[in-house]
């Protein structure tokens, strides 16, 4: 197949290598490099690996350039900050793509995929989801190899939400590690963070069981246990006394959890969804609480049943 990868960052470059290693004709395009028309023309698959803030702009660039049969794959993990009202949910990347290209099949790729490890040849697994099962299987075939195992999933909403929401929890866990609070605290934070993700997903209409898979628990574990995670680095840096702007400047790429937190809290406030961890992350990012105060607020909440 001809595969066009949009975004030449670490993840886009990694996905391009995976497709190229499987014998596909691969082109990579970004705003800084590459021939747009040569990359996109007659592509069987367009794989978007750009940050959330760039999705709308790239969609406009592509709007009149895609072949009718082109399969769209989004690997972006975030929530659209320009959507969502008191009655409408924020849009996910795949929903932006589907609205712009209603006749095209759209699939989501997500999972515990730290690009630097995959670039080193270390084994990894991911999941591709779509309402079109044949589209998901095409992506599975295109990217699967002995070092990158791809599963399919029929719940695109849950898969996409898992990838977005775990970034918020990763910021909290990074702060936990930055404060040297220990393994017990970290385990509790990850576990209750997963419960929070499932609660949000249930409100959205996703399947709870999806969050126990690769795009939920799997991605959460990877992101919360590696200094390679940009969102983890944000929380860790804040716990070390750095200000947010300095932390973000030093990152190699975008920490999607910062924007996702803002959009999520707006939704939770509107719909009265309980998200105590995300709320403390939001206040931490806004400079309204210290990392120690955020931990204290979580530990001193009213006692309640676990389930």
Where residue 253 falls (left for φ over 0; alpha for ψ -120 to 50; beta otherwise) is left
Alpha-carbon gap, residue 181 to 236, rounded angstroms: 12
Q: 64 — phi, psi (to 5°)?
A: -105, 15
- Which of 55, 36, 49, 60 is closest to 8 using CA atoms? 49
Half-sphere exposure for 249 (CA within 13 Å, toward CB): 5
Catalytic residue among 166, 207, 242, 272, which?
166
Is 272 one of the annotated active-site residues of the chain? Answer: no
- Which of 81, 83, 142 is closest to 107 using CA atoms? 142
With helix as H, strand as E and coil as C, how does 188-227 read? HHHHHHHHHHHHHHHHHCCCHHHHHCHHHHHHHHHHHCCC
Report the Cα–Cα distance between both ends of the chain, in Å, rounded. 47
Q: What positions carry a catalytic annotation?
A: 166
């Amino acid at each position: 197949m001809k595969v066009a990868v949009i975004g030449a960052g670490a993840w886009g470059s990694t996905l391009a290598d995976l497709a190229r290693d499987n014998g596909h004709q691969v082109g990579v395009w970004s705003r800084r490099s590459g021939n747009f028309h040569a990359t996109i023309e007659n592509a069987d698959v367009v794989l978007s690996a750009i940050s959330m803030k760039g999705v709308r702009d790239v969609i406009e660039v592509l709007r009149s350039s895609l072949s009718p049969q082109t399969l769209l794959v989004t690997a972006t993990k975030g929530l659209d900050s320009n959507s969502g009202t008191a009655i409408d949910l924020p849009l996910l990347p795949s929903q932006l793509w589907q609205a712009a290209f209603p006749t095209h099949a759209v699939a989501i790729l997500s999972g515990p995929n730290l690009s630097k490890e995959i670039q080193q040849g270390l084994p990894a697994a991911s999941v591709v989801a779509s309402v079109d099962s044949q589209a998901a299987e095409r992506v599975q075939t295109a990217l699967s190899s002995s070092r990158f195992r791809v599963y399919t999933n029929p719940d695109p909403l849950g898969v996409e939400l898992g990838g977005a929401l775990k970034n918020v929890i990763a910021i909290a866990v990074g702060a936990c590690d930055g404060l040297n609070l220990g393994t017990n605290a970290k385990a509790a934070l990850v576990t209750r963070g997963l419960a929070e993700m499932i609660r949000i997903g249930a409100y959205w209409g996703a399947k709870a069981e999806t969050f126990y898979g690769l795009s939920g628990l799997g991605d959460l574990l990877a992101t919360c246990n590696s200094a390679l995670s940009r969102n983890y680095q944000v929380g860790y840096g804040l716990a070390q006394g750095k200000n947010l702007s300095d932390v973000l400047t030093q990152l190699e790429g975008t920490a999607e959890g910062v924007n996702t937190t803002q959009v999520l809290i707006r939704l939770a406030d509107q719909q009265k969804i309980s998200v105590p961890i995300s709320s403390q992350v939001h206040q931490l990012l806004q400079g309204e609480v210290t990392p120690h105060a955020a931990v204290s607020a979580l530990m001193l909440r009213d006692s309640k049943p676990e389930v």
